[in-house]
Amino acid sequence: MKSLATQRRKPVAALVLVVLVLSLIGALYAAVGSATKVQAVDAPNSAEQIALGEKLFVQSCSSCHGIGGVGTDEAPSLVGAGEASADFQLSTGRMPLTAEQAQAQERTPVFSDEEIMAISKYVGSLGAGPSNPTASQLEYENADLALGGELFRTNCSQCHNFAGEGGALSNGKYAPNIRNASPLQIWQAMITGPENMPVFSDQTMSDSDKQAIIKFVNHLDNEPSFGGWDGGSLGPVSEGLTVFLLVIGLLIGAAVWIGAKVR
């Protein structure tokens, strides 16, 4: 195993592997003809793409992650982080990291879609790691919504809250609001486990389970708020504030008004 792993680390081997995998994926995508951006991958171009990715990586990332992504004191090694991880980090604007913060912030991405794809391919080529899902894997429309809800409440709501509004973790870290996350990002987050989030690998969560979760998260954002304004779905804290600031406030106003002497 170990020798295989070292073999795999060799740039050439990695390249060959990537080209192979990519052409396979490319063929698949072409067959499916889906509209996701991953589809733009074209096997013949991937070597060029990786070269472009490497160039961008050296410019923007290597100061922290080291040349060849081997890692430094500043940042972890990206060998084996996988294409999905890089794509997730870049498309949510978390990387390149800027300020020293408890946690990388979501921002508008720094790079264009093409550049992101190139860098992701490059990071993917550094070592075997989670790769992006295929278009058919992302087809969640037929998934089981109720199952997705149950899986979400079992695996995700403890950090992201029952409505996907997010929540606090220790020491200033937090699980972000995921109501607007795209299906691709949800998938990537699950298989790469960014920062404090656990990895939900294929062994622990099947594709259909992931699709169900995506369907549920997507549904959260589209469900009408049945009881009226939902106060940010923060639970009893905002309800308590409402009682004191709004309800009691209104009633004191009324009490003063009624109590005012009529003359």
Partner 1 sequence: MSNAIGNFASGLDDRLTIASWSRRNIRKVFPEHWSFMFGEMALYAFITVLLSGIYLTLFFKPSMTEVLYDGSYVPLKGVHMSEAYASTLDISFDVRGGLLLRQIHHWAALLFVAAMSVHLVRVFVTGAFRKPREINWMIGLGLLMMGFLAGFSGYSLPDDLLSGTGLRIAEGIMLSIPVIGTYLSFFLFDGEFPGDEFISRLYGIHILLIPGVILALITAHLLIVWYQKHTQYPGKGKTNDNVVGYPVMPIYAAKAGGFFFVVFGVIVAIAGVITINPIWGYGPYMPDQITAGSQPDWYMGWLEGALRIMPNWETVAWGHTISWNVFIPAAVLMGIVFTLLGAYPWLERWATPGDQTKDHNLLDRPRNAPTRTALATGSLTFYFLMLIAGGNDIIASQLDMSINAITWVVRIGIFVIPPFVFWITRRICLSLQRKDRDLLLHGVETGTMMRLPHGEFEEVHAPLSEEAKAVILSKETIEPIPYPEKTDANGVKTPHYHLKKMQAAVSHWLYRDAVPLPSAAELEAAEHHILESAEKGAPVMHQMRQLEAEGGVMHDPSAAEADRAAGVTVPHLDAEFDQKAEDEKGQQAD
List contacts with partner 1 (CB under 8 A). Answer: 102, 145-146, 149-150, 153-154, 157-163, 165-172, 174-175, 216, 219, 223, 225-231, 233-240, 242-244, 246-248, 250-252, 254-256, 258-259
Residue pair 132/83 in contact by the 8 Å Cβ criterion: yes
Q: What are the φ/ψ torsions at residue 196 (nearest 5 degrees)?
A: -80, 0
Cα-Cα-Cα-Cα dihedral of 98, 100, 103, 107, to 10°?
-30
93 Rama class: left (phi>0) / alpha (psi -120 to 50) / beta: left
**Length in residues, the chain:** 263
Residue pair 8/127 in contact by the 8 Å Cβ criterion: yes
| Shortest Cβ 246–partner 1 spacing (Å) | 7
Q: Which is nearer to partner 1, 51 or 248 (CB)?
A: 248
What distance in Å separates the CA atoms of residue 27 and residue 41, rounded to the nearest whole number?
10
- 166 makes contact, choosing from partner 1, ligand HEC, none, with CB < 5 to 8 Å by partner type, with partner 1
Q: Which is nearer to ligand HEC, 22 or 156 (CB)?
A: 156
Q: Which is nearer to ligand HEC, 135 or 190 (CB)?
A: 190
Q: What is the DSSP letter of 233?
A: G
Q: Which of residues 196-215 bind ligand HEC (CB under 6 A)?
A: 196-198, 200, 213
Q: What is the DSSP letter of 117?
A: H
Q: Which is nearer to partner 1, 201 or 238 (CB)?
A: 238
- 224 makes contact, choosing from partner 1, ligand HEC, none, with CB < 5 to 8 Å by partner type, with none
# chain residues binding ligand HEC, by CB under 6 A: 46
Q: Which is nearer to ligand HEC, 204 or 254 (CB)?
A: 204
Can you tell me which residue has the tokens 């600031």?
A: 245
Residue pair 99/202 in contact by the 8 Å Cβ criterion: no
| Structural tokens at position 235 | 């639970």
Which residues of this chain interact with ligand HEC, rule CB under 6 A? 60-61, 63-65, 74-76, 78, 81, 85-86, 89-90, 92, 94-97, 103-104, 106, 119, 123, 155-156, 158-160, 169, 175-176, 178, 181, 185-186, 189-190, 192, 194-198, 200, 213
